[in-house]
Structure 1
Amino acid sequence: MWCFRSLFGRFFSDQRGNFAIMFALAALPIMVAAGAAVDISRAYAVENRLKAALDAAALAVGGATNQTNQQLQVIAQNYFDANYPADKLGVPGTVTVSQNGNVVSLSVKADMPTTLMGLAGIKTLDIAATSQVTRMGKKIEVILVLDNTGSMDTGGRMTVLKEAAKDLITTVSAAALNPGDVRIGIVPFTTDVNVGSTNKNESWLKWTWSHPSFCTTTGSGKNKKTECVEERTVAKNSWSGCVTDRDENYDVAVSNPTANNSTKYPANDDNQYNGNCNFPAIVPLSTDWQMQKSRIDAMTSGGGTNTTIGFVWGWQMLTNGATLSNAAPADPKELEKVMVYLTDGDNTYYRGGMGNQTNAACNGSANCPRVDQRSQLVCDGMRAAGIQVYTIRLVQGNATLLRNCATEPSMYYSVNSANELKDVFASIAQSLSNLRISK
């Protein structure tokens, strides 16, 4: 008897076989927990994909004005479908859109089939994403400063530029919530800027002025002497409308001319004295989108690159009260002032000297390497005035100068092919469409 009880006692007290039972009992929750970790990780991936696609749809919807909610729904769904990855982990539902003043809200849900969580009866996970875009209340003034030099005739550059610039006008103008919220102007430039021959009687012009090519050099060595005199005069009645740089230091400023002759704009003849005026005149800020596009279509290629004069007249067109400008007074809280500057050439021309070369026009003077310095002074002035500057370098140009002139590093673009311009201008246009993802 004692042996029988001892045998049963040892059996019930022995725990060696319990591990198999315990493992079997614990295996299910362990597998479910492991499956949950996998499924939750997949859920995060789906949520991020939903959010990214929904943000793209929000920007598209936010840029569409004067649309019904049903029309916005179609736009949002199309953009969402185009941006949601083809290898869908989840099955998204329909995007919903609602408007409340300047705020547009979007939401979408997706069902994601689970893996091991199904063992616990959880067959799908419901994943939701929301996005909200605020149409900013700020108004915007944009000046397109576009290179019309001879090199723009190479490789179809001018043709692509025209299309890209017109597309920007279409995109940015559509962001206006109210008439006048967006105004755009154009400054074509070469060695000169065309201010329009109809201004020939304006007191801010001067018709006689000096230029390095008007200088004479006598002697040699220590006795070498260079003299420049104001002895060349442009004929007013045959003037095509172009002006060149003002006298230093007015050449890098937007102050208005006075009775002082040095403050006035030197009229330049077509194809004389390094002039080339076979391109359109400046277009002040306007909401006449068709007129602006027609003026862009009229752009032609010719002449050399004067980076400074393009910058300074773009700045001038954004400055309230400046010559020929109809810009509104600066108001950082209510108004954004923006310049989009494109060039495809080195800064080779300046009234005080030709590029960084030492040639006859420079007469060996210290002016030659100063052209980029003059341009940088204009950029410094625009930065101090709060103007947002985008710069685009096409093929060639002083990369350091253009990068430094851009307000932010991300606002400088350098491309090696004209075909890239449309994407660059589209990117800038989206930035200028006065939208931001708010949530």
Structure 2
Amino acid sequence: MSSIEAVKVTYDPATKVFHTEIEGAVKTTLLQVVGRKEMTVSAVSEARKGAPRSLEIALVLDTTRSMSGAKLSAMKDSANALVDAVMPTDDSPTKVGVVPFAQYINIGMSRRHEPWADIPADYQSNYNRTTYPDRTLIECHDVETTCTSDGITTPCTRSQCTYDYGEPLVTPAVANHTWRGCVGSRDYPRNLASGEFSLYQSPGILDVSCAKELLPLTDDKDAVKDKISELTASGDTFIQPGVVWGYRVLSPEIPFDEGVSYEEMHANFGTKAMVVMTDGINYRSVTYPGHGGYNRPLADDLLAEQCDKVKEDDIRIYTVAFEVTDNAIKEDLRDCATSPGDFYDAADASELMDAFGAIALNLQELVLTK
């Protein structure tokens, strides 16, 4: 029998070498005749971060209203740390895309006339506007109630006011209906697919707001970090569209073809991966083509089906729950991940940084050198 008495692991960031020393004792056989029943043994090994594999990573990041303030800053710091780790040099064989999500995805105004997008023309409509120019305030008082924002209900105080409105004034007015880069969902099941855009285009939605424009895969580290830095928080949570557009970013076919084929990636022992981070539940759901519903079971079911479809193409999914208190969505995210070990439950900013760091390390190889 043998026993390990001490293990010491050190890491030199300058050389990127892990140094491991192990000491222990083993039972002897022949040496027992001279009174040595045990002998001390030791082993030393070194491993370094090897030349990075070919990597394509889609960062699918929740930028909804509930991510405002310190949470958004923590997410940016963690995402940037991951980018620094997987793109250490300008010639790293790594591409990263960024897919911010809220209620809708933003494909960018410049893609309005792409053949795979069906974007309605902007237009104007006439209507009668009613105002009360002689309105006067009578009284206001505060009311304790609850407020719901992006599926999160908290106590709040609202002002309840009484007015003398006077006579209404009706005047003709013009409403502008515009496209801001937002796209909805194709009919089921094509809303889950990465391709088929030559026949079934992605529908543009007028008069809605969405997250910042997505960034397709690129090996330009500065472009990735610039995109992360410009993210802002607004809108409601609907996770499945973020995952499907992350899928489309990683796919080698239109609408985005910056990624290599699945066959080439496999032949090069590379990895296509998706990191999905959210801080809350599915508050919105699909209404085809819009996302105006509040059917959480439908949204949760679509997320589960979407994750399974992505994993069928051997894309590794990492999921991160950030300050999430709802156990059901945690289970959904755990099931979405490629394995239970690829799900991270980050209770605060420090744990979020640890989660992104663990994912970055997992995406890199260690090469035994000694």
TM-score above 0.5: yes
Q: Which residue of 2 aligns with 1:45?
A: 5
Q: Which residue of 2 aligns with 1:297?
A: 229
Q: Which residue of 2 aligns with 1:418?
A: 349
Q: Which residue of 1 aligns with 2:245?
A: 313
8 Å CA contact 1:194, 1:280 repeated in 2: yes
2:132 pairs with 1:172:
no
Shift of 1:153: 0.7
Structure 1 residues 362 and 284 mapped into 2: Cα distance closer, same or farther (>3 Å)?
closer
Shift of 1:437: 5.7
Question: What SS class does the counterpart of residue 241 from structure 1 fall into?
Answer: strand
Looking at structure 1, the residues matched to 20 and 230 of structure 2 have their Cα atoms a distance apart, in angstroms, of 45
2:73 pairs with 1:163:
no
Shift of 1:204: 2.1
2:209 pairs with 1:276:
yes
Q: Which residue of 2 aligns with 1:332?
A: 266
8 Å CA contact 1:244, 1:265 repeated in 2: yes
Q: Which residue of 2 aligns with 1:408?
A: 339
- Map 1:46-195 to 2 at 5 A: 46=6, 49-50=7-8, 53=9, 56-57=10-11, 72=15, 76=17, 127-133=42-48, 135=50, 138-153=53-68, 156-174=70-88, 179-195=91-107
Task: State the AA in 2 paired with 1:329.
Answer: S
Question: What SS class does the counterpart of residue 45 from structure 1 fall into?
Answer: strand
Question: What SS class does the counterpart of residue 251 from structure 1 fall into?
Answer: helix
Looking at structure 1, the residues matched to 298 and 275 of structure 2 have their Cα atoms a distance apart, in angstroms, of 24
Looking at structure 2, the residues matched to 208 and 348 of structure 1 have their Cα atoms a distance apart, in angstroms, of 26
Q: Which residue of 2 aligns with 1:383?
A: 311
Unpaired runs of 5+ in structure 1?
A: 1-36, 62-70, 80-105, 113-119, 210-232, 354-360
Looking at structure 1, the residues matched to 280 and 24 of structure 2 have their Cα atoms a distance apart, in angstroms, of 54
2:328 pairs with 1:393:
no
Looking at structure 2, the residues matched to 368 and 424 of structure 1 have their Cα atoms a distance apart, in angstroms, of 27
**Which whole-Å deviations, capped at 9, do the CAs of 1:92-141 have from their partners, x for residues lacking one?**
xxxxxxxxxxxxxx6769899xxxxxxx99xx967332234572673111
Looking at structure 1, the residues matched to 95 and 293 of structure 2 have their Cα atoms a distance apart, in angstroms, of 40
Q: Which residue of 2 aligns with 1:4?
A: none
8 Å CA contact 2:52, 2:92 repeated in 1: no
Structure 1 residues 45 and 189 mapped into 2: Cα distance closer, same or farther (>3 Å)?
same
**Which whole-Å deviations, capped at 9, do the CAs of 1:8-40 have from their partners, x for residues lacking one?**
xxxxxxxxxxxxxxxxxxxxxxxxxxxxx9xx8
Structure 1 residues 325 and 350 mapped into 2: Cα distance closer, same or farther (>3 Å)?
farther
Shift of 1:265: 1.3
Looking at structure 1, the residues matched to 176 and 331 of structure 2 have their Cα atoms a distance apart, in angstroms, of 36
Unpaired runs of 5+ in structure 2?
A: 26-34, 122-174
Q: Which residue of 2 aligns with 1:266?
A: 203
Looking at structure 1, the residues matched to 366 and 192 of structure 2 have their Cα atoms a distance apart, in angstroms, of 33
Shift of 1:240: 1.9
Question: What SS class does the counterpart of residue 180 from structure 2 fall into?
Answer: coil
Looking at structure 1, the residues matched to 193 and 318 of structure 2 have their Cα atoms a distance apart, in angstroms, of 19
Question: What SS class does the counterpart of residue 266 from structure 2 fall into?
Answer: coil
Question: What SS class does the counterpart of residue 254 from structure 1 fall into?
Answer: coil
Identity over the aligned pairs, expressed in percent? 26
Structure 1 residues 150 and 107 mapped into 2: Cα distance closer, same or farther (>3 Å)?
closer
Shift of 1:192: 1.1
Structure 1 residues 134 and 171 mapped into 2: Cα distance closer, same or farther (>3 Å)?
closer
Question: What SS class does the counterpart of residue 350 from structure 1 fall into?
Answer: coil
Structure 1 residues 128 and 290 mapped into 2: Cα distance closer, same or farther (>3 Å)?
same
Looking at structure 2, the residues matched to 349 and 107 of structure 1 have their Cα atoms a distance apart, in angstroms, of 50
Q: As a proportion of its length, which structure holds more strand? A: 2
Count, aligned residues: 300
Task: State the AA in 1 paired with 2:244.
Answer: V
Structure 1 residues 179 and 256 mapped into 2: Cα distance closer, same or farther (>3 Å)?
farther
2:181 pairs with 1:241:
yes
Q: TM-score, normalised by structure 1?
A: 0.61
Task: State the AA in 2 paired with 1:204.
Answer: W
Q: As a proportion of its length, which structure holds more helix? A: 1
Shift of 1:256: 3.0
Shift of 1:434: 3.0
8 Å CA contact 2:74, 2:349 repeated in 1: yes
Looking at structure 2, the residues matched to 149 and 415 of structure 1 have their Cα atoms a distance apart, in angstroms, of 17
Task: State the AA in 1 paired with 2:5.
Answer: A
Q: TM-score, normalised by structure 2?
A: 0.71
8 Å CA contact 1:192, 1:245 repeated in 2: no
More RCO (CA 8 Å, sep 6+): 2
Shift of 1:305: 0.9
